[in-house]
Structure 1
């Protein structure tokens, strides 16, 4: 019976064959222990010399790291294994012998590992991170589909910036200028006017010359937009979504979190509702914590966000930022126009902002004023302005950065481990 490691629980006491790679091995004179992986999981294979032909045992003892194999053996329960099962190996067929695999069990530096990222992702820790990432993606689709959202794919090549910044990757689109998308948000607003509640899930690009552990040049964003939804209701959607994703990971990635050494008691607390503080209250809190240099009207950096998050064991919303430090499309608070109806969601444990969102301006005259104030001239933004001409409604949306969320949930230190092939300031290989 041919099967996979993830399915061996169905065949206890039976002989199966698994296509696998040899992650590592150790052996004594009489027993060979083979650590096997097949992409679906990891299992230990045990071959006893007295139970197999001598040439088979010698072949098993001579296997090299990352050689590909067909391994045959009897599935048995094993309480000592985190996986719960092991394989009593009766035969090994070598498909391809790997020679001098570069990532050995010794300690390697991050640059060496990143140069060999195409191989490093095979290893158990990286496998666990990628499985958690996959579960977050699966749970994301499930949450939005179950809540009446329609998946829409905005373009990656755009004629202008969504954020009005200069951190863009420029390219030529035949005889026109084009840019790699920083965000699908503007297009998602158009989609929300057609379909009500929508979400996108795709790559975004920021030509930001940053080397921090929180930044990537290419990353993935989940960007919902909702017609007839105002600021307070949008915050509820955000906390429900994040809670849903975290609880799904706890339920379906127990082995992966255990291997990563993640303190799951911290994740178990991630249940809506989340605390909310205003920007004004955040400034006061920072002053109390000794950040005397931060003044009203300045944006928060990573140390500020970490200090604020330390006061909470759940993600915390910081709301009502000064409008002048936020994007042109954010709706001002009607009771206090100098602040916007917006919020950033700050993850616990120093992982920083994982969501930015706001209610969008829906009034045509106000948006025209913002266009003029931000110098948004030319035809590139005309279509976006027209959304306020033809049946405009209050609407809100947000964007969640996938890699920062993976880093927080898994507990890894740097976002470079949260995407299969990271693009960093000085890294375009492999």
Structure 2
């Protein structure tokens, strides 16, 4: 007899198979018991008929507790009523371990309780669906960049400097000198792009930002491409093609998970490049004309401002050409203006905020030295980075996409804490 996983069931219709799993839930009706089973790859219903299995196995099915582990022997049958399309006609049950007093029951639980039990909450249908979508976003990311000639490069997590200053970094001792947990791999990826042309990284980043909003995590994952000989407008095209590819991949490969989350598919199906664009100047005017008198030119946008702009579109929207004073030192100034830089933030629809920040990078040596000085950064810490504009400098661009915000948007979940397996929040380092 073949041992399979739930996701393999469509290949074994009409066969008797063995599956190892856990009991997610159950109900019984007279002489029939319905077991909701999961094995990590999916969820399926097992039907236990007393007349078929006998008194002992039926009693075992009725007495099993939530999250008990078991082996089940059953025939795979077609079930057109279920989303999955199949169910199991149970023949035998072998209990491996009986779970007693499992803390997360089908009733409602508070957020703090669920976060304290995140290691168990991950087993739920909703969290399983979100993690599967996260995995598909990651798979599609590698697929897109490898199809388009990018090379995966891994920047360091321990660094001696920061792309955006050290005010929001976690500081640690590195033997007899100071080091920081990486805020971004960007500067190292620029170096890699000068060696390999088009590169991308995918890894954890850390922000010591004391924020409790639904958009923020202390530890999160970033996808950071850098591209030599690519200027600002070309980079925007890559960004919208990448996001479109990811969305279409999730729609194609995660239909069960999206349905489980009650996601409005029509909002995702319309996501196609090219995306609309609005300049920072026009965004300020739009906000001022629509009741946001608090925002003035030269100030950065907050969540309410981004949401108001996004609600004017049913697609992700680029906000371009921010003031030079509110952006990092490495961004290339506009060729015709000295007050804005060649940058853009991509704002997701439905109030999910910025999911990409990107720009053309400064490649002039003297300008880079000037910008480092203007930002009061220690030039000696950036000496290696200055070498990039000193030896064979070329125009180049890059961007960073926040994985958790993107997964939250695609999944339709409210808070990014549900889009990472074990979130690190301002007041949470457990579990």
Q: Does 1:174 align with 2:166?
A: no
Which whole-Å CA distance do the structure 1 matches of 2:100 and 2:229 have between them? 61
Q: Does 1:123 align with 2:151?
A: no
Moved over 6 A (4+): none
Q: Does 1:341 align with 2:345?
A: no
Q: Per-residue displacement from partner, 1:89-144 (whole Å, max 9, x unpaired)?
A: 01110111111000001100000000000000000000000000000000000000
Secondary structure of 2:359 counterpart: strand
Deviation at 1:293, TM superposition (A): 1.5
Q: Does 1:133 align with 2:127?
A: no
Q: Does 1:269 align with 2:270?
A: yes
Deviation at 1:11, TM superposition (A): 1.0
Deviation at 1:53, TM superposition (A): 2.1
Which whole-Å CA distance do the structure 2 matches of 1:387 and 1:376 have between them? 17
- Asked if structure 1 preserves the Cα contact closer than 8 Å seen for 2:369 and 2:379, the reply is no
The answer for the alignment partner of 1:160 in structure 2 is: 161
The answer for the alignment partner of 1:368 in structure 2 is: 369
Residue range with higher mean Cα deviation, 164-173 or 398-407:
164-173
The answer for the alignment partner of 1:232 in structure 2 is: 233
Question: Which aligned pairs between 1:404-423 and structure 2 lie closer than 5 A?
Answer: 404-423=405-424
Which whole-Å CA distance do the structure 2 matches of 1:54 and 1:298 have between them? 72
The answer for the alignment partner of 2:281 in structure 1 is: 280
Which whole-Å CA distance do the structure 2 matches of 1:197 and 1:307 have between them? 35
The answer for the alignment partner of 1:112 in structure 2 is: 113
The answer for the alignment partner of 1:192 in structure 2 is: 193
Q: With structure 1 as the length reference, what TM-score do the two structures score?
A: 0.99
Which whole-Å CA distance do the structure 2 matches of 1:376 and 1:63 have between them? 63
The answer for the alignment partner of 1:379 in structure 2 is: 380
Which whole-Å CA distance do the structure 1 matches of 2:94 and 2:381 have between them? 61
Secondary structure of 1:393 counterpart: coil
- Asked if structure 1 preserves the Cα contact closer than 8 Å seen for 2:169 and 2:208, the reply is yes
Deviation at 1:161, TM superposition (A): 1.4
Question: Which aligned pairs between 1:383-398 and structure 2 lie closer than 5 A?
Answer: 383-398=384-399
- Asked if structure 1 preserves the Cα contact closer than 8 Å seen for 2:372 and 2:379, the reply is no
Secondary structure of 2:71 counterpart: strand
Secondary structure of 2:259 counterpart: helix
Deviation at 1:165, TM superposition (A): 4.1
Which whole-Å CA distance do the structure 2 matches of 1:58 and 1:372 have between them? 76
Secondary structure of 1:70 counterpart: strand
The answer for the alignment partner of 1:94 in structure 2 is: 95
Q: Per-residue displacement from partner, 1:345-396 (whole Å, max 9, x unpaired)?
A: 0000000000000000000010011111112225321000111110000000
Which whole-Å CA distance do the structure 1 matches of 2:212 and 2:294 have between them? 24
- Asked if structure 1 preserves the Cα contact closer than 8 Å seen for 2:360 and 2:395, the reply is yes
Which whole-Å CA distance do the structure 1 matches of 2:292 and 2:379 have between them? 42
Which whole-Å CA distance do the structure 2 matches of 1:290 and 1:328 have between them? 32
Which whole-Å CA distance do the structure 2 matches of 1:354 and 1:65 have between them? 38
Which whole-Å CA distance do the structure 2 matches of 1:403 and 1:389 have between them? 36
Which whole-Å CA distance do the structure 2 matches of 1:122 and 1:31 have between them? 26
Secondary structure of 2:371 counterpart: helix
Which whole-Å CA distance do the structure 2 matches of 1:8 and 1:339 have between them? 57
The answer for the alignment partner of 1:318 in structure 2 is: 319
The answer for the alignment partner of 2:8 in structure 1 is: 7
Counting matched residue pairs gives 430
The answer for the alignment partner of 2:208 in structure 1 is: 207
Q: With structure 2 as the length reference, what TM-score do the two structures score?
A: 0.99
Q: Per-residue displacement from partner, 1:392-421 (whole Å, max 9, x unpaired)?
A: 000000000000000000000000000000
Which whole-Å CA distance do the structure 2 matches of 1:160 and 1:408 have between them? 32
The answer for the alignment partner of 1:148 in structure 2 is: 149
The answer for unaligned runs of 5 or more in structure 1 is none
Secondary structure of 2:300 counterpart: coil
Which whole-Å CA distance do the structure 1 matches of 2:26 and 2:80 have between them? 20
The answer for unaligned runs of 5 or more in structure 2 is none
Which whole-Å CA distance do the structure 1 matches of 2:374 and 2:164 have between them? 14
Deviation at 1:29, TM superposition (A): 2.5
RMSD: 0.6
Q: Per-residue displacement from partner, 1:27-47 (whole Å, max 9, x unpaired)?
A: 122001000000000000000
